[in-house]
A and B are shown apart, each in its own frame.
Chain A
Amino acid sequence: MIQLSDAILSLVLLSVLLSLSSNRLMGLVRIMAFQGILVSLVPLFLDQHQGIGAGSILFLQIMILIKGILIPGFMYIAVNKVKIRTEVEPFVGYHASLFTGLAFIVISAYITERLNISLPGGHALLLITAITTMASGLFLLMARRKAITQVIGYLMMENGIYLVGAALAKESHTQYVVEFGVLLDLLVGVMIMGIVLHNINSAFDDVDTALLGRLKD
């Protein structure tokens, strides 16, 4: 089943690259839903040999529900409701972003290569994907003008961190209560960001972060 997990991870990488070159907000939200579902599926294909318990199946469903449906659904409503112009309005152009994304892949491959000395083996592609996703999330957070793309960048970073957790932590540490708590925090966080976003839009008539410059020293 190694091949299947590799296929999923390649799709995650593809979604990262797509999101970097995407110029429509709606498209970006759809990509995030796709990525959320893929990331939730990763543990299932990693631990095939250990067998799957009832707890992990249930948790997998909750995770797909939250990462793949609830959070993107919430973003979808936010994009629709605030009636913003649908372009992403980047600080860094799409081609340059795409190129940065490719550079991230190369760099993470190099890092993974170097780290492998002290890593439990067999997770090379997983770690590459995780680091790329994290770095691209941070990049998206900084390189896009709209407040809503910052939320998407944050989500992508969170996905990357989850993959790091899946890559590094042994199965024995997995406690579903705890992981559920992390997911719940993420969900509530996105909801609060959505509410603030809505209010920013009605106060400023836009969600451009350049408008948020009143407070400084």
Chain B
Amino acid sequence: MLELVFLIPLFAGIMATFLPVKLGRIILVITALLHVQLTGMCWLKISAPMFDAYFRATPEGTLVLLVTSFIFLFISIYSVSYMRETEMENEHVFIGCMLFFLAAMSMVTLADHLIVLWIAIEATTLVSAPLIFVHRSKEALEATWKYVLICSVGIALALLGSFFITLSMDIGQVDVPLAFSALQAVAANLDPVWLKAGFVFVVIGYGTKMGLAPMHTWLPDAHSESPSPASALLSGALLNCAFLGVYKTHTLLYAAGLGTYSSNVLIVFGLVSMSVAAVFIMNQTDYKRMLAYSSIENMGIIAFGIAIGGLGTYGAMLHLIHHSLIKSSLFLSSGNILLGYGTKLIKNTGNMAKLLPKTFLAFFAGFAGISGFPPFGIFISELLIIIGAFRSGRFVSIGIFIFCLILIFAGAARLVMRMSFAQHDEDILVQEKMLRILPSYALLLTSAILCVWLPESLYQTIINAITAIGGGLNG
């Protein structure tokens, strides 16, 4: 039964909310392990969906599910150690919401019905709001308010977009279930005008959640104010889920022969996101906000890569995997830095190389990875996207793309250098612990391994996911 992938975290979350905190922590890790196992079963196609009108294991969905499940495992291990060091008033709520969040995201990855997908994405907003809110500071309140309101309004527009797609079915006299897989087959009969209108609203709606500029304004606040394990989940898993909504609709348009139109929309949003990130990362004073803007940049890269098609699409899918791995590792390291220095301001940190050597290694390696240096996977994915864009002859776009990458690298490098090597005389508040270091290392190591060796089944799934929009290694 495929639905267990999200039902089990749901029940575990309910249990963890009411049980004592110590038991809750154990439930968190056990559920994470169980979830990996269930994902494996879904991956091997052993489990079939029970409600097949609403849920289906698509290649792109299982890919995102695998990434989510994998990073959740490490984040849950990290959280247990992190929660011991910080004083949280409502820790059982935090644990419960982490599990609900996992459930909602798993539901997104499996949803096939248009409206069920919408329900699941809205549910991710609602269950992750308490995660941001958990410290109850004035800043956290503001961040939560912006997050809930901006995302809810944005996602409401996606619902409108879904209704437009329904209308395009009615006008085209198409009578199939309102599911992506069913619509895919009959896409050519859909009414093109309303399909295009629907796509724009869906991109604005789910794009808000994905962090595409100019709808990104909630993202830096939410990522910087939530506790680090939650930031890692938001950046590494949630953004991918929202992307899935955009991707599925893009596939639909491609099948309807409107691929050029939807690609152009995505390229514009992608490049605007990258430019906005490049501008705001320059004079950033807060290292978690810096990482958040980097997430906006990477979501822009993924949208761009998907849109150019061919090799670029393959690169974008690789980028999705590696961005999740590296960025969640970076946010986990930033949690250690926050514990160590007690501040999020870059100017109050420094000399990390001496004071927090293990965290420094993870943070610096992660920074190298996210900037596109080998041996980490983003090196390959960005290279493939650039080659793909050259092949499709989009020279102006590729110019902007590379320029933004350089700006962001230059801006972030200055800040990271300052954090790592500048003078700092005060002592460290909380020392490093292995449990809070190893998850970051493991995530980075996975990215490095996947860079040189991609398992056959993973490769095949990526190819299956992207052939629907004309992507492939030879495209």
Contacts and interface: CB of A to CB of B under 8 A. Distances in A.
Interface of A: 118, 120, 134, 138, 141, 147, 150-151, 154, 157-158, 161, 164-165, 168-170, 172-173, 175, 178-179, 181-182, 184-185, 188-189, 192-193, 196-197, 199-200, 203-204, 212-215, 217
Interface stretch (B32-40, B142-150, B307-315, B426-434): B142-150
Contact of A204 (B125, B130, B138, B171): B138
Contacts of A172: 175
Contact of B164 (A168, A181, A184, A199): A168
Contacts of B225: 215
Contacts of B30: none
A178 B145 contact: no
B170 A161 contact: no
B163 interface: yes
B101 interface: no
B109 to A, nearest CB: 17
Given A154-B153, A161-B159, A185 B167 contact: no
B145 A169 contact: no
Contacts of A214: 138-139, 142
Nearest to A170: B170
A182 B156 contact: no
A193 B148 CA distance: 7
Given A118-B191, A212-B142, A215-B143, A196 B148 contact: yes
Given A118-B191, A178-B113, A212-B146, A185 B123 contact: yes
Contact of A178 (B119, B163, B220): B119
Given A118-B193, A157-B156, A168-B166, A217 B141 contact: no
B141 A215 contact: no
B221 interface: yes
Contacts of B220: 215, 217
B382 interface: no
Given A178-B115, A215-B143, 10 more contacts: A120-B171, A157-B156, A161-B160, A164-B160, A169-B163, A178-B116, A185-B122, A196-B141, A212-B142, A212-B145
Candidate in B113, B146, B148, B193 with the most chain A CB atoms within 10 angstroms: B148
Contact of B129 (A120, A150, A158, A196): A196
B144 A157 contact: no
A169 B166 CA distance: 6
B280 interface: yes
A138 to B, nearest CB: 8
Interface string B211-225: 000000000110011
A217 to B, nearest CB: 5
12 contacts: A147-B145, A165-B163, A178-B119, A179-B115, A181-B119, A182-B118, A182-B119, A197-B145, A199-B136, A214-B139, A215-B220, A217-B284
A117 to B, nearest CB: 10
Nearest to A177: B54
A103 to B, nearest CB: 21
Interface of B: 54, 113, 115-116, 118-119, 122-123, 125-126, 129-130, 133, 136, 138-139, 141-146, 148-149, 152-153, 156, 159-160, 163-164, 166-167, 169-171, 175, 178, 191, 193-194, 220-221, 224-225, 280, 284, 289
B138 A196 contact: no
Give the residue among A138, A151, A203 with the most B Cβ atoms within 10 A. Answer: A203
B115 A181 contact: yes
Contacts of A196: 129, 133, 141, 144-145, 148
A158 B154 CA distance: 11
Contact of B163 (A141, A164, A212, A217): A164
A120 B172 CA distance: 11
A178 to B, nearest CB: 5
B245 to A, nearest CB: 15
A165 B148 CA distance: 23
Contact of A203 (B138, B153, B221): B138
B78 to A, nearest CB: 25
B226 to A, nearest CB: 12
A150 to B, nearest CB: 6
B82 to A, nearest CB: 22
Given A173-B178, A188-B126, A196-B133, A120 B159 contact: no
B132 to A, nearest CB: 10
Contacts of B280: 217
B156 A199 contact: no
A4 to B, nearest CB: 24
Nearest to B279: A217
3 closest residue pairs by CB, A with B: A181-B119, A168-B167, A185-B122
Nearest to A179: B115
A181 B225 CA distance: 30
A200 B141 contact: yes
A168 B163 contact: yes
B141 A192 contact: no
Contacts of A185: 119, 122-123, 126
A55 to B, nearest CB: 16
Contacts of B166: 165, 168-170, 173
Contacts of A181: 115-116, 119
B229 to A, nearest CB: 20
